[in-house]
């Protein structure tokens, strides 16, 4: 992960810049929320991003995903 995109939490733990703010927005998120967005470093994304919504590709969405959508005024996705 490039240093410019990460904030050190400990000597071995880093967090993507922007994800630990009161109004979180990852610096790797490209585009406009609610219109079209994508991850600017998808292939190199860290484990928390890989683990956030592993079932989304199958149409199964988590409560955490819907909470994030609600913060941006987006409607919830169906939760199984």
Q: How many domains does the chain have?
A: 1
Q: Is the pLDDT of residue 12 over 80?
A: yes
Which residues sit opposite 39 in a β-bridge? 29
Range of the domain at 62: 3-71
3-class DSSP assignment, residue 13? coil
pTM above 0.85, yes or no: no
pLDDT at 80: 59
Identify which of 13, 5, 9, 60 has the alpha carbon closest to the alpha carbon of residue 29.
5
Q: Is residue 11 part of a domain?
A: yes
Q: Is residue 41 part of a domain?
A: yes
Q: Is residue 77 part of a domain?
A: no
pLDDT at 31: 92
Q: Is residue 20 part of a domain?
A: yes
- What's the CA gap between 15 and 58, in Å, rounded? 27
Q: Is residue 33 part of a domain?
A: yes
Q: Is residue 7 part of a domain?
A: yes
- What's the CA gap between 34 and 74, in Å, rounded? 7
pLDDT tens, position by position, 18-76: 777 777 777 888 998 888 988 888 888 877 777 766 677 777 777 877 888 888 888 88
């Amino acid at each position: 992960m490039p240093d410019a995109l990460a904030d050190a939490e400990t000597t071995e733990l880093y967090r993507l810049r922007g994800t630990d703010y009161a109004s979180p927005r990852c610096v790797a998120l490209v585009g406009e929320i609610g219109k079209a967005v994508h991850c600017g470093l998808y292939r190199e994304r860290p484990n928390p991003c890989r683990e956030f919504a592993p079932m989304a590709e199958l149409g199964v969405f988590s409560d955490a995903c819907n909470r994030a959508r609600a913060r941006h005024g987006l409607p919830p996705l169906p939760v199984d």
